Amino acid sequence: MRYAHGILIGAVIPGVIFLVTAAIRITSIGADALVLEALGDIYTIWFVTSIAIAILPLLLIFIIRRDMFREFLIFEAGGFGLFSPIWIFIATDISGTPWYSILTDGITDGLIGFGPGGIIVGIDISNIILIPFLAISFIIGLLFLRPSFIVKYGYTGELPELTDLKADADRKEESFIDAEVTDVKAPETTVDSIAALRDVLIEHGTTDPIINLILNSGIGSITDLASTSADQLSNLTGLDKLQAEQLIMVVQKKIWFSDI
């Protein structure tokens, strides 16, 4: 929906500009010299107003929602590029001149400028300039309005839609993990687990004082001992770190290669 709104804005702004221009030209058909002079002044005012219409939304977005400025700029520039040629053809046709005439004759008094003595005069646009300009404009519009281009260059931060999607995915993942581990219980210390641990330690050749220190420290099963770090076991029993690592390795092998 956000992309559709951007396309709509990019299409409407040039549409308003060129359709009002067409209305002024339609009014001039069959008008006398006095009316034509007044319409010329109106066209001059509208020409300047059109520039303001194109710039004002950008200024407002820059002031109010600066994070959206680049995105809006691309939509507006792309809209002008893609839709301006279309609106020019439509405006030309409804103003009483065949739309294809601008490709053969150009546009008469399409621009305004200052003539001799500072008088505002109309400036013709030759078809030699107009045709490549319209073609390049259309291509640039297509390029700018591609979704991939807007995503890559238009957004300064992460899209709210993507943020919501990630949050929803995280919630689902957490729910899945919770569901997976709901029935998993921590191993409990029992007489059998202590006896099994003692047997493994005796089999390894661990002395009784060390065995008692291990059992009295709260380690009550083979899995408890296997998950104990060498530093922790060394601190509990007084073994050096290498001996502690060897003992833990023996217990881990017992788990991996036995029926425990």
Q: At the top level of CATH, which class does the domain 191-256 belong to?
A: mainly alpha
CB 145 within 8 A of CB 78: yes
Q: Does position 214 have pLDDT exceeding 70, yes or no?
A: yes
Mean local confidence (pLDDT), 114-132: 84
Question: How confident is residue 109, by pLDDT bands cut at 50, 70 and 90?
Answer: confident
Q: Does position 1 have pLDDT exceeding 90, yes or no?
A: no
Domain ranges of the chain: 2-162, 191-256
Give the helix/strand (H/E) hosting 125: strand 120-125
Collapse the DSSP code of 208 into the 3-class scheme (helix H, G, I; strand E, B; otherwise coil) and give the result. Answer: helix
CB 131 within 8 A of CB 103: yes
In this predicted structure, what is the pLDDT of residue 148? 85
Task: List, as own/partner pairs, every contact residues 26-32 make where C-beta atoms lie below 8 angstroms and the sequence separation is at least 24, other chains included.
Answer: 26/94, 26/95, 26/96, 29/95, 29/96
**Alpha carbons 251 and 203: distance in angstroms, whole number:** 10
Question: How confident is residue 14, by pLDDT bands cut at 50, 70 and 90?
Answer: very high
Percent of the chain exceeding pLDDT 70 equals: 84
- Range with top average pLDDT, 121-130, 163-172, 203-212: 121-130
Q: Does position 182 have pLDDT exceeding 70, yes or no?
A: no
CA distances from 204 to 25, 193, 249, 250 (A): 102, 17, 11, 8
Over residues 39-61, the pLDDT tens digits come to 888 989 999 999 999 999 999 99
- Range with top average pLDDT, 66-75, 116-125, 212-221: 66-75
In this predicted structure, what is the pLDDT of residue 260? 46
Collapse the DSSP code of 219 into the 3-class scheme (helix H, G, I; strand E, B; otherwise coil) and give the result. Answer: coil
Nearest to 107, CA basis, from 119, 122, 120, 90: 122
How many CB atoms sit inside 10 A of residue 169's CB?
Answer: 10
